[in-house]
Amino acid sequence: MSTATATAHPNIALVKYWGKRDERLILPHQSSLSVTLGPLSVTTQVAFEAASGPDLVRINGRSVEGRERTRVVELVGLVRAAVRARLRRRLGRATVVSSGDFPASAGLASSAAAFAALAVAARAAAGFPRHPREESILARQGSGSASRSIQGGFVRWNRGRRADGRDSFAEQVFDQGHWPELRLLVGLVSREEKEVNSRDGMRSTVETSPYYPAWARDAEAEVKVLVRHLARRDLEAVGALAERNAWRMHATALGAEPPLCYLKPQTLAVIEACRVARSRGVGVWFTLDAGPNPVLLTLARDEARAAALISRLGAASVVHCVPGGDAQVR
């Protein structure tokens, strides 16, 4: 039996990925850039036996079946195939046990941290040395955003151009210690399961939104500008760019047929409150993934006032995050 355990953090994109050019390999139409979110994490243990048999997958204390299990089993299958091809060894059935230290009700998708931890643990259990690029390429095939959770700090996922996806991986732009004052506050304004998941939402947007080409085209330049703003730790510039990018992603999705609206009335209330707070001298901006729960960008000195603002507007909980570190083998 060979076993390894790994831990990875989720991430929040400031320039977002929305749309695949290859559904199977999960290759994006555009590059994206995110902040890794500490201290939240997912820990995953992978154990390979010599004997073959069906893989077992347990997530947060329960055995999973169906689509959830298939995505994990497929990723483990990629590692098995790589071991056969490169190390000339055969791995038998795998047991995967994963748990997150943040509830689904935190309003953050755990798939980025989960597939990053799985990719790192599965490769380590199979006997491969650490290799962030290979880990990112593997994690990407579980969930696109997971490619950006292998490394800490500020991470850019380069879209790549090749059909085989070998040039589509994420790289660290600035490390975890680059901007210690930065705070990311996740506000839970709705617990409802979203009606359209990211995978289906992206596909529909790419196929039916007339705004999609403009969205994808602008991303490369946005990533470059964001890197310059991050280099200067200029929250006003970073925040304005993140807000504009989030609005444009949602505008593109709203242009799909049927329209995809992930916003709830309380989401708009928080967005409006950020604008009002800024006019009163609180440095707070928002970003928004494909869901109703905003993530606020602020600095340590304004953290308490920014958190009070989302709580007052009805957020059931506020999760306080700072830039997180690399995925680790434990």
Residues numbered 17 to 36 that lie near ligand PMV (CB under 6 A) are 17-18, 32
DSSP for 208-257, please give it.
H-TTHHHHHHHHHHHHHHHHHHHHTT-HHHHHHHHHHHHHHHHHHHHTSS
Q: Which of 36, 110, 198, 205 binds ligand PMV (CB under 6 A)?
A: 198
Can residue 111 be called a binding residue for ligand PMV (CB under 6 A)? yes
Can residue 303 be called a binding residue for ligand PMV (CB under 6 A)? no
> Counting every residue, how long is the chain?
330
Q: Which is nearer to ligand PMV, 35 or 277 (CB)?
A: 35
Can residue 290 be called a binding residue for ligand PMV (CB under 6 A)? yes
Rounded CA separation 310/307 (Å)? 5
CB of 140 to ligand PMV, least distance (A): 9
Element housing 80 (H / E): helix 66-82
Can residue 226 be called a binding residue for ligand PMV (CB under 6 A)? no
Q: Which two tokens stand for residue 187?
A: 């506000």
Residue 146 dihedral angles phi and psi, to the nearest 5°: -65, -25
CB of 28 to ligand PMV, least distance (A): 8
What are the Cα distances from residue 37, in Å, to 151, 205, 258?
11, 27, 33
Q: Which of 13, 91, 114, 318 binds ligand PMV (CB under 6 A)?
A: 13
Span near ligand PMV by CB under 6 A; candidates 67-75, 137-145, 235-243, 321-329: 137-145
Q: Which is nearer to ligand PMV, 201 or 325 (CB)?
A: 201
Q: Which two tokens stand for residue 13?
A: 């994109």
Return residues touching ligand PMV (CB under 6 A). 13, 16-18, 32, 109, 111, 143-145, 198-199, 289-290
